[in-house]
Structure 1
Amino acid sequence: MTYGARTTAFARLHDTGEPLLLPNAWDHAGALALAGEDFPAVGTSSLAVAAAAGLPDGASVTRDETLRLALTLGSGPFLLSVDAEDGFSQDPDAVGEFARQLAAVGAVGVNLEDGLGPMASHAAKIAAVKRAVPHLFVNARTDTYWLGEGDERETLRRLDAYQQAGADGVFVPGLTDPARIGALVRHLDTPLNILFSPTGPALSHLADLGVRRVSLGSLLYRRALGAALDTVADIRAGRTPGGTTPTYDEVQQARQAPGSGSLGQCSSAT
């Protein structure tokens, strides 16, 4: 499949009548395991990438790590969207060049967050990316709920500016109120992306509200850390660890033949 066909396929996943459920990976094995569970697209998690490298998230210091991961995953048997924080620069042209590099290694989407910085600056970054790589799916994130007070008027103002700058979709993490989500869907011209919250609306409810993309963000990474802590606690207490545990050989086989089998039913602790 050509790059143009891959970007078109990714865009169409936002228009199927059901939300695109986008799991977020941080390494090669995890991304391939998700692809083996029939997820057509996989995103990356900026928190997971930063934490794995011992760096802070949201501080524009993981540019190299992000590009390295995209190089590893971009040719995988799935469509890749990359969480690029704020683009790792305040220079729109530099952000556009970074997007071009992501596309060159196979990424079909990029997530750019405003961090509640100047709206015009973020809009300029979006426009620069669309100039550099017109077919790359730009998911423009505003942090009015994630970092701010959830001001509805400011949220609409920012999202309108990002749509006008060329964003293909918009992302409002931290928003969980169904009434506000529904109102945003009705207002927008582009797909709305919501961050799944275990205490928020279920996937089926988000679908009913018209949400067209649901990201898992750092949830899988944090759950994986939790599972590791639970496992060592069980072993220390003399209990047999529970949960799904792919074997050594199964992980090796998944790496060598991505998509050839599921790891989800494995239970051996080998």
Structure 2
Amino acid sequence: MTLHESSTSPSTVRQRFRELHVASTPLLMPNPWDPGSAKVLESLGFQALATTSAGFAGTVGRLDGRVTRDEALGHAEQIVAAVNVPVSADLESCFAADASGVAETVRLAAAAGLAGCSIEDYDRDTGGLFPIEAAAERVAAAAEAAHAGPDPLVLTARADGGLHGLEDLDDTIARLRAFEAAGADVLYAPGVSAVADLRRLLDAVSLPVNVLALADAPAVAELAELGVARISVGSGFYLAAMGALAAAGRELLDDGTYQFWVPASRGGEATSAAFA
């Protein structure tokens, strides 16, 4: 069997990833931060994974938005190599303001063996959103690069206003509709989690929609009833792991006890099963 024919060839994996996006049967897609966490999540039964820009940045001691394109793509390639399930990459704003730079980032993502990638409309240089016309042009450039060739990537276009204090649902919906017209495959408005807002958003677009599972988000069953096609956790699992690490450290420093070994034993079981 050749690589192209195998179950883990880019063509097969990308097609599988596309087929997993079904409205009302949401794909649960958690976000590992290194190859080990990716292997654990795969072993638990998740059918697809996505990188987390904040989680990866944390592994090298930086805040979100402080890694380079080469670093992010190298990290994504490591995750792809570690697992057999489809992997989508959080590529922030595609590390470029101009359309040609965006397209180059997506071409490099395809070369890394990814099944998909995302593009934000947040401009880290200005601290605001790209104007809607410019944002749509960037999505169009990303879509053209993602869909080039026989094995297209699944492109997720993000309207990120809700994560940056720019909570205008009308503007978010207008952006998602523009991104749909520009050629995106999946739409994503992280920070939109109220049932009424999600219902409006889902009624306004026809593409699969991803929802970020924040603490106040509806449960999976309710999101399924609304017609959501994919649910991700962003940096949530990474931060949960860091929270457990901090709690264990504080216990040792402040109490001088070792109860951290109780949850640690469960971690040992998970890694033993995943890495065997």
Give yes or no for TM over 0.5. yes
**In the alignment, which residue of structure 2 is the partner of 1:186?**
203
Within 5 Å, give how 1:114-129 maps onto structure 2.
Answer: 114-115=121-122, 116-129=129-142
Instruction: Structure 1 unaligned segments of length 5 or more: list them.
Output: 258-270
Contact persistence 2:177–2:204 (CA under 8 A): no
Asked if 1:15 corresponds to 2:22, the answer is: yes
Within 5 Å, give how 1:231-246 maps onto structure 2.
Answer: 231-236=248-253, 237=255, 238-241=257-260, 242-245=262-265, 246=267
Distance 1:71 1:178, change over 3 A: same
Greater helix share, structure number: 2
Secondary structure in structure 2 of the residue aligned to 1:110: strand
1:235 Cα deviation from its structure 2 partner: 3.0
Asked if 1:152 corresponds to 2:177, the answer is: no
Contact persistence 1:90–1:121 (CA under 8 A): no
1:58 Cα deviation from its structure 2 partner: 3.2
Distance 1:6 1:101, change over 3 A: same
**In the alignment, which residue of structure 2 is the partner of 1:224?**
241
Contact persistence 2:48–2:86 (CA under 8 A): yes
Detail structure 1 runs of 4+ shifted over 3 Å in the superposition: 244-247, 249-255
Secondary structure in structure 2 of the residue aligned to 1:81: strand
**In the alignment, which residue of structure 2 is the partner of 1:213?**
230
User: Structure 2 CA distance, aligned partners of 1:132 and 1:144?
Assistant: 25
**In the alignment, which residue of structure 2 is the partner of 1:29?**
36
Residues 94-143 of structure 1 show CA distances to partners (whole Å, capped at 9, x for unaligned) of 22122111111210111111112222222222222222230111111111
118-127 or 4-13: bigger deviation = 118-127
Secondary structure in structure 2 of the residue aligned to 1:24: coil
TM-score by structure 1 length?
Answer: 0.87
User: Structure 2 CA distance, aligned partners of 1:21 and 1:89?
Assistant: 29
TM-score by structure 2 length?
Answer: 0.86
**In the alignment, which residue of structure 2 is the partner of 1:262?**
none
The one of 68, 72, 95 equivalent to 1:66 is 72
Residues 170-227 of structure 1 show CA distances to partners (whole Å, capped at 9, x for unaligned) of 1111112101101111111111111101222111111111111111000001100000
Instruction: Structure 2 unaligned segments of length 5 or more: list them.
Output: 1-6, 123-128
Contact persistence 1:109–1:136 (CA under 8 A): yes
What is the percent sequence identity of the aligned residues?
33
